[in-house]
Amino acid sequence: MVIVMKKGSSREDLARVVRAVEELGFHPHVLPGIERTAVGITGNPGPLDPDAFERLPGVARAIPVSQPFKLASREMTPADTVVRVGSKAIGGGGLFVIAGPCAVETADQLLESARLMKNAGADALRGGAFKPRSSPYSFQGLGKEGLVLLAKAREATGLPIVTEAVDEASLELVDEFADVVQVGARNMQNYELLKRVGRLKKPVLLKRGMSATLEDLLLSAEYVLAQGNPDVILCERGIRTFSRHSRYTLDLSVLPAARGLSHLPIIVDPSHAVGRSDRVPSMARAAVAAGADGVMFEVHPAPDKALSDGRQALLPQQGADLIAQLRAIATIVARKVETVR
């Protein structure tokens, strides 16, 4: 923490700050400047609260120097975390592709999607059984029945299953059936849910909230990690901005930033961000070119019959073509990964 005094603050103000630091058991270092004085604090074992100092008279700002997350930080864990999912891995240099319908609807729809995606080279199957929908009048998912269908699709294709939990009850079921538990963007700061997935022995796919900063996202990951679950996969899915040409603004610059601050793998979901199938391929390619550890997108054998978000689903053949492009781009990117500073 560095405390910056106001220009024209008094000697008493400075003495008060010095005392406040000493009372906490830390060491104040007074740095007299031409325009104003600053006080550096050393000896503190972790982050301090700026408020405790900004409240004191004569103080202009208290600037935190440490990061508020620890387990999620690359400083504490320099090496990349690699999360095993089925026989593959997310993180560590490869490209992990998750594809499937937005929501599980019928056995046929799911199985057909799964088989086609398996043949196209996908690494996992997605499909929602519990759907958080903005309108109470929209289709809310098949629930347990959907999970059973997902398990059958896994049996038929060997693809591991990624699916979302939305509360305590659904989490118990999802834990029983899924290979990766997804926490959706709207629940990214549902801390009770995060604590619960932190106690599972299963990878967690944590989607960035639509107004979450990278720090918010890493603090939510910290909730999971702090409960003992090390397998957190971050996921960018678009943020809310003033832009109106896209449902959300896919923030790909978070990829190199996250890689700098954290050791956790990060993937991208372009489908929910752009909300239109014709724009999904360009954003999926961009994600891989920007260095994503994986991509998750939606396919549907008959998008116009989909019960949820059909407009953003690719046809299976489009999905297969896209996977081929993504793998080709991944090869180029892998040849020249710049050192992250």
Binding positions for a copy of itself, 37-66, rule CB under 8 A: 38, 40, 42-46, 51-52, 54-55, 61, 63, 65-66
Task: Give 142's Cβ-side CA count (13 Å radius).
Answer: 19
What are the beta bridge partners of residue 27? 42
> Please, which residue, 166 or 296, has the CB nearer to a copy of itself?
166
Task: Name the DSSP class of 304.
Answer: G
For tokens 């009372």, the residue is 23
User: Is 109 an interacting residue with respect to a copy of itself (CB under 8 A)?
Assistant: no
Question: For a copy of itself, which residue of 13, 68, 84, 121 counts as binding (CB under 8 A)?
Answer: 68
- Smallest gap from Cβ 179 to a copy of itself, in A, equals 23
Question: For a copy of itself, which residue of 69, 96, 177, 297 counts as binding (CB under 8 A)?
Answer: 69
Beta-carbon contacts of residue 15 (< 8 Å; ≥ 6 apart): none
Task: Name the DSSP class of 109.
Answer: H
308 phi, psi to nearest 5 deg? -150, 125
- Of residues 179 through 208, those in contact with a copy of itself by CB under 8 A are 186-187, 189-193, 195
- Smallest gap from Cβ 340 to a copy of itself, in A, equals 6
- Which one of 11-19, 96-104, 130-138, 155-163 is the stretch in contact with a copy of itself (CB under 8 A)? 130-138
- Smallest gap from Cβ 316 to a copy of itself, in A, equals 15
User: Is 273 an interacting residue with respect to a copy of itself (CB under 8 A)?
Assistant: yes
92 phi, psi to nearest 5 deg? 85, 15
Determine how many CB atoms are found less than 10 A away from the CB of residue 61: 13
User: Is 274 an interacting residue with respect to a copy of itself (CB under 8 A)?
Assistant: yes
Candidates 109, 138, 139, 140; CA nearest to 125 is 109
Contact in structure between 301 and 113 (CB atoms under 8 Å): yes
Question: For a copy of itself, which residue of 104, 120, 205, 288 counts as binding (CB under 8 A)?
Answer: 288
User: Is 29 an interacting residue with respect to a copy of itself (CB under 8 A)?
Assistant: yes
CA distance 316 to 117: 7
> Please, which residue, 153 or 214, has the CB nearer to a copy of itself?
214
Question: For a copy of itself, which residue of 90, 117, 205, 255 counts as binding (CB under 8 A)?
Answer: 255
User: Is 150 an interacting residue with respect to a copy of itself (CB under 8 A)?
Assistant: no
- Which one of 35-43, 101-109, 114-122, 293-301 is the stretch in contact with a copy of itself (CB under 8 A)? 35-43
CA distance 71 to 220: 11
Contact in structure between 265 and 234 (CB atoms under 8 Å): yes
> Please, which residue, 163 or 170, has the CB nearer to a copy of itself?
170
User: Is 168 an interacting residue with respect to a copy of itself (CB under 8 A)?
Assistant: yes
User: Is 317 an interacting residue with respect to a copy of itself (CB under 8 A)?
Assistant: no
Contact in structure between 168 and 196 (CB atoms under 8 Å): yes
User: Is 143 an interacting residue with respect to a copy of itself (CB under 8 A)?
Assistant: no
CA distance 207 to 337: 25
- Smallest gap from Cβ 98 to a copy of itself, in A, equals 19
Q: The tokens of 248 are what?
A: 């959300």
Question: For a copy of itself, which residue of 22, 93, 119, 213 counts as binding (CB under 8 A)?
Answer: 213
Largest CA distance in the chain: 77
User: Is 87 an interacting residue with respect to a copy of itself (CB under 8 A)?
Assistant: no
